Amino acid sequence: MSPLVEVEDLSVNFVTRESNVRAVNGVSFSMMPGEVMCMLGESGSGKSVTMRALMRLLPPKRSVITGKIRIAGQDVLAMDDGTLRRMRGSTVSMIFQEPMTAFDPVMRVGDQIAEVVALHRGVSHKAGRQRALDLFDLVRIPSAQRRLDAYPHELSGGLRQRAMIALALSCEPKLLLADEPTTALDATVQIQVLILLRRLQQELGMSVIFVTHDLGVAAEIADRVAVMYAGRVVETGTVRDVLRSPLHPYTAGLLASTVHDQPRDQDLKTIPGAPPDMRRLPPGCSFAPRCPRMIAECNAGSPPPVTPAPGRIVRCIRVEQPEFA
Amino acid sequence: MFGYVIRRLLAAIPIALGVSMVCFALVYLAPGDPIQTLLPPDADAETVERLKRLYGLDRPIVIQYAEWLYRVATGDFGRSIANGRPVIEEIQRSLGNTVLLAFLSVLVAFSIAFILGTIAGRKSGTWIDRAVTGVAVLGVSIPNYWLAIVLVIIFSVELMLLPSSGTAGDTFDPTSWEHIQYLILPVITLSMIPVGIIARTTRSAVSEVMNQEFVVTLRANGLPEWRVLKHAIKNALPPVLAVMGLQFGTLMGGSILVETVFAWPGSGYLLSKAILTRDVPVLQGTILVLAMIFVVTNLAVDLFQSTLDPRIRRG
Question: Domain for residue A115, yes or no?
Answer: yes
Q: Which residues pair with A21 in a beta bridge?
A: A14
Q: Decide if B308 and A106 are in contact by the 8 Å CB cutoff.
A: yes
Give the count of domains, chain A. Answer: 1
Q: Summarize the confidence of residues B24-51 as an average pLDDT.
A: 73
Contacts of A86 in chain B (CB under 8 A): 222
- Segment A88-108, tens digit of pLDDT: 999 999 998 888 889 999 999
Judge whether B264 and B187 are in contact, CB under 8 Å: no
**What pLDDT does residue B71 have?**
85
Query: Please, which residues have CB within 8 angstroms of residue A178's CB and are 6 or more apart in sequence?
Result: A94, A95, A197, A208, A209, A210, A211
Residue A179 pairs in a beta bridge with A211
Q: With respect to residue A153, please indicate whether it lies within any of the assigned structural domains.
A: yes
pLDDT digits (tens, 9 = 90+) for B129-144: 899 999 899 888 888 8
User: Does the beta-carbon distance from B217 to A90 stay under 8 Å?
Assistant: no
Three-state secondary structure call for residue A311: coil
- Looking at residue A299, what DSSP letter applies? G
Residue to substitute from B127, B207, B221, B314, interface A, most A β-carbons within 10 A: B221
**Distance in angstroms (rounded) separating the CA atoms of residues A141 and A157:** 12
- Count of helix runs (H) and strand runs (E) in chain A: 11, 11
Considering only CB atoms, which chain B residues are within 8 Å of A87?
A: 222
**Arithmetic mean of pLDDT over chain A:** 88
pLDDT score for B156: 81
C-alpha–C-alpha distance, residues B93 and A87, integer Å: 62
**What's phi and psi for A186, nearest 5 deg?**
-65, 155
Residues of A with CB under 8 A from a CB of B: 52, 55, 57, 85-90, 93-94, 96, 98, 101-107, 115-116, 119-120, 151, 153-154, 167
- Beta strands across the sheet bearing A20-31: A20-31, A5-15, A63-71, A74-75
CATH topology of domain B97-267+290-313: MetI-like fold (1.10.3720)
Chain B, nearest residue to A154 by Cα: B311
Task: Confirm whether A206 is domain-assigned.
Answer: no
Question: Mind listing the pLDDT tens digit for each residue in A280-291?
Answer: 888 888 888 888
CA dist., res. B180 & res. B184, Å (int): 7
What single string gives the DSSP state of each residue in A228-284? Answer: EETTEEEEEEEHHHHHHS--SHHHHHHHHTS-SS--TTSPPP---S-PPPTTS--SS
For residue B238, what are the CA distances in angstroms to A153, B137, B196, B305, B312? 17, 22, 17, 5, 10
Domain that holds residue A164: 105-172
Per-residue model confidence (pLDDT) at position A325 = 43
B184 has a pLDDT exceeding 70: yes
Task: Find how far residue A117's CA is from the centre of its chain.
Answer: 24
CB contact under 8 A, A151 and B235: no
Task: Give the per-residue pLDDT at A324.
Answer: 46
- Among A88, A107, A119, the residue with its CB nearest the CB of B219 is A88
According to DSSP, residue B160 is labeled: -
Contact A209, A31 (CB under 8 A): yes
What pLDDT does A323 receive? 46
Q: Which is nearest to A196 in space by CA: A109, A145, A138, A239?
A: A138
Residue A123 has a pLDDT of 93
pLDDT in tens, B279-289: 878 888 888 88
Q: Cβ-count burial of A273 within 10 angstroms (0-12 exposed, 13-18 middle, 19+ buried)?
A: exposed
Give the residue extent of every domain in chain B.
97-267+290-313
Instruction: Please say whether the dihedral angle defined by the alpha carbons of residues B240, B245, B248 and B254, taken in this order, is positive or negative.
Output: negative
Distance, CA of B123 to CA of B146 (rounded, Å): 33
